[in-house]
């Protein structure tokens, strides 16, 4: 119970339905625990056997109505108990998933990059549902089943004592504590098996996600059988883990029933030896059976909480992960920036102690088009990603117009930045709504003008629904050039003073590249631009070039000066521009 206590706050918003469900559960437990044994003891002897009495039709009808009345109370109370618990559980699941998803939105990219996408999805879908079942089942059965058990035990104790005294009470109840033994034994073994199941479910989700995202590569390299075999290995491990969980959960009920049968047999022997009446014996047996049912359900509750605990362990990897990139307690105001960037002794070391940047210092005046050049892994992308605070520096600081980036809110900072990626992401929505991501309050006329500036308006109008065309997942219904033009149009619409271009034309055909290069020339006017350059043909208009190597800036200047003085820059440039065989 202590394990779930911090999460009982999710029940506060549904405390009305929970309380109603608990009251119905108590009523159900009372009717079930004491009602049936009382009927056996009080009603049957008046109708059957040597002590039967002459009943009027009215008396007979009232006695006969005892059973349907008990089952009516049980049925109505049980129905509303289940309905209200289900309603509360659905609300709890909604809140859990939203909190989990909300936490993912604020966690740093460094955290997300260390996780597997499919596993994060599995935690948000499967593990939240498992935890919801554990919370609501616990909240319901922790009152309902003990009430049934207490009602049955109270009646059993009263009847046993009134018939044969304390000894019969001890005989009938001695076996009940033994029923707890399989609950404890199974519970200890179940939690590890449950963790294995949740982990394997995450791996299955990850395999599906990875495979669907690489559908073209799978077909191009003939990997269909390989992918199926890889999934088969994981699903077989999942099956093994699931069957181990099933072995323990399904073994609980027969274990308790066998112990219960032994208890009833002992009671039978004692009843025969002491000459207990048939009606008393049947009444005691009915009460014993009523005791064992809540014991079984409490045992099942123990199993559910163990499985829920395993799910909670996986969820807490996200829920308890520290949010390291946050707004300052007392932020400085930042309206529209001029765009002067300064890096002062900046270093960045990742969690695995890998240094991505080492003591970088550079000043980039407002309005500068700055190209970042260097071999793969030299630190170019890391340098650019520090500006919108996708990562925070380990040492040193970065200023925008003289203000430390960590002294302004993330919203104010990122409002001043537009990014055009090498592989722009479009959401499965209309083209119009994807364009509005650039600025949510833009008018229709402003959206269309941005599309014109990016040479996208014409192809959009030629689509079946124009601006209302659904682009598909990640923009799958559009070509690479069309997706890139929409990304450029978003940057036009945002009209931010800082612009980051991650080689926005490197993967395009020559016609699309020419159109986008023309759009970019207009887009960069009056802005501070960082170009992550993979192809040197894209940096001919740069006013400042920074050469990176092993996380350091080893040279800076214009093309002519760097080509003459820096061997690395000259080698990289010649590698791309000198024709082969010359």
Convert the pLDDT of each residue in 522-542 to its tens digit. Answer: 888 889 999 987 777 677 778
Q: What confidence score (pLDDT) does residue 528 get?
A: 93
Q: Which of 499, 486, 503, 474 is nearest to 450 (CA)?
A: 486
Residue 399 burial (CB < 10 Å; 0-12/13-18/19+)? middle
Contact 349, 537 (CB under 8 A): no
**Phi, psi at residue 385, to the nearest 5°?**
-70, -15
Which tens digit of pLDDT belongs to each residue from 270-305?
767 777 666 667 767 776 676 767 776 777 677 777
Q: Which of 258, 295, 262, 286 is nearest to 171 (CA)?
A: 262
In this prediction, residues 118-142 reach a mean pLDDT of 78
Q: Where are the beta strands (DSSP E) in 376-472?
A: 395-400, 403-404, 417-420
| H runs (alpha helix) in 31-108 | 36-42, 44-47, 57-64, 66-106
Average pLDDT over residues 27-33: 70
Adjacent-strand bridge partners of 528: 498
User: Tokens 């010649």 appear where?
Assistant: 574
Q: Which residues contact 75 (CB under 8 A, 6 or more apart)?
A: none
Task: Quote the strand ranges of 458-558, DSSP E.
Answer: 498-501, 528-532, 544-549, 552-557
Q: Whole-prediction pTM value?
A: 0.71
Q: pLDDT tens across 494-521, in order?
A: 989 999 988 766 555 566 667 777 888 8
Cβ neighbours for 493, distance < 8 A, ≥ 6 positions apart: 435, 436, 438, 439, 442, 446, 447, 450
| DSSP 8-state assignment for residue 347 | E
Sequence ranges of the domains in the chain? 5-319, 332-414+533-582
Confidence at residue 18, expressed as pLDDT on a 0 to 100 scale: 81
Q: Which residues contact 172 (CB under 8 A, 6 or more apart)?
A: 156, 160, 263, 267, 284, 288
* pLDDT computed for residue 19 by the predictor: 85
Closest by CA to 191, choosing from 240, 140, 244, is 244
Identify the pLDDT of residue 160.
64
CA distance 221 to 511: 29
Nearest to 547 by CA among 572, 513, 516: 572
pLDDT digits (tens, 9 = 90+) for 363-411: 999 999 999 998 888 889 899 999 999 989 999 999 999 999 999 999 9
Q: Report the CATH superfamily, name and number, of domain 332-414+533-582.
A: P-loop containing nucleotide triphosphate hydrolases (3.40.50.300)
Query: What is the pLDDT, as a whole number, of residue 508?
Result: 59
> Domain 5-319 maps to which CATH number in 3.40.50.720, 3.40.190.10, 1.20.1560.10, 2.40.128.20?
1.20.1560.10
Q: What pLDDT, on the 0 to 100 scale, is given for residue 359? A: 92
Burial class of 200 by CB neighbour count within 10 A (0 to 12, 13 to 18, 19+):
buried
């Amino acid at each position: 119970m202590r394990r779930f206590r911090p999460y009982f706050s999710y029940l506060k918003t549904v405390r009305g339905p929970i309380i109603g469900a608990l009251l119905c559960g108590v009523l159900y437990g009372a009717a079930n625990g004491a009602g049936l044994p009382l009927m056996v003891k009080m009603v049957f002897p008046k109708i059957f056997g040597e002590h039967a009495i002459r009943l009027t039709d009215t008396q007979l009808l009232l006695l006969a109505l005892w059973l349907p009345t008990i089952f009516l109370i049980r049925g109505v109370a049980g129905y509303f108990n289940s309905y209200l618990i289900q309603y509360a559980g659905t609300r709890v699941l909604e809140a859990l998933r939203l909190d989990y998803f909300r936490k993912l939105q604020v966690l740093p990219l460094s955290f997300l990059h260390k996780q597997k996408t499919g596993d994060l999805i599995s935690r948000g879908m499967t593990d939240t549902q498992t935890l919801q079942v554990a919370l609501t089942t616990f909240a319901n059965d922790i009152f309902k089943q003990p009430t049934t058990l207490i009602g049955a035990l109270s009646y059993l104790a009263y009847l046993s004592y009134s018939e044969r005294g304390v000894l019969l009470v001890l005989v009938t109840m001695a076996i009940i504590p033994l029923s707890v033994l399989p609950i404890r034994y199974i519970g200890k073994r179940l939690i590890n098996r449950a963790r294995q199941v949740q982990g394997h479910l995450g791996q299955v989700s990850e395999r599906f996600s990875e495979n669907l995202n690489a559908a073209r590569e799978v077909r191009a390299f003939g990997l269909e059988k390989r992918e199926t075999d890889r999934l088969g290995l994981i699903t077989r491990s999942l099956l093994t883990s699931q069957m181990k969980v099933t072995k323990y959960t399904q073994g609980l009920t027969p274990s308790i029933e066998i112990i219960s049968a032994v208890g009833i047999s002992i009671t039978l022997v004692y009843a025969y030896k002491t000459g207990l009446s048939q009606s008393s014996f049947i009444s005691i047996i009915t009460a014993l059976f009523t005791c064992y049912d809540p014991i079984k359900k409490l045992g099942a509750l123990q199993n559910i909480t163990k499985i829920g605990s395993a799910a909670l362990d996986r969820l807490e990897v996200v829920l308890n992960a520290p949010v390291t990139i946050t707004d300052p307690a007392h932020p400085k105001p930042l309206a529209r920036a001029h765009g002067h960037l300064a890096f002062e002794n900046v270093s960045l070391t990742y969690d695995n102690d890998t240094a991505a940047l080492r003591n970088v210092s550079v000043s980039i005046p407002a309005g500068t088009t700055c190209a970042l050049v260097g071999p793969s892994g030299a630190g170019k992308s890391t340098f650019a990603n520090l500006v919108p605070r996708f990562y925070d520096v380990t040492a040193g600081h970065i200023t925008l117009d003289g203000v430390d980036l960590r002294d302004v809110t993330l919203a104010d900072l990122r409002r001043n930045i537009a990014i055009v990626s090498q592989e722009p992401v479009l959401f499965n929505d209309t083209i119009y709504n994807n364009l509005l991501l650039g600025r949510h309050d833009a008018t229709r006329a402003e959206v269309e003008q941005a599309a014109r500036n990016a040479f996208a308006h014409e192809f959009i109008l030629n689509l079946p629904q124009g601006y209302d065309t659904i682009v598909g997942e990640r923009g799958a219904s559009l070509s690479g050039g069309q997706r890139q033009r929409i990304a450029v149009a978003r940057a036009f619409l945002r009209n931010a003073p800082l612009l980051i271009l991650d080689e926005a034309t490197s993967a395009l055909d020559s016609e699309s590249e020419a159109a986008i290069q023309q759009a970019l020339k207009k887009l960069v006017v009056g802005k501070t631009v960082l170009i992550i350059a993979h192809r040197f043909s894209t940096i001919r208009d740069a006013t400042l070039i920074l050469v990176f190597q092993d996380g350091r800036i080893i040279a800076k200047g214009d093309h002519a000066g760097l080509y003459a003085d820096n061997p690395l820059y000259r080698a990289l440039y010649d590698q791309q521009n000198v024709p082969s065989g010359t």
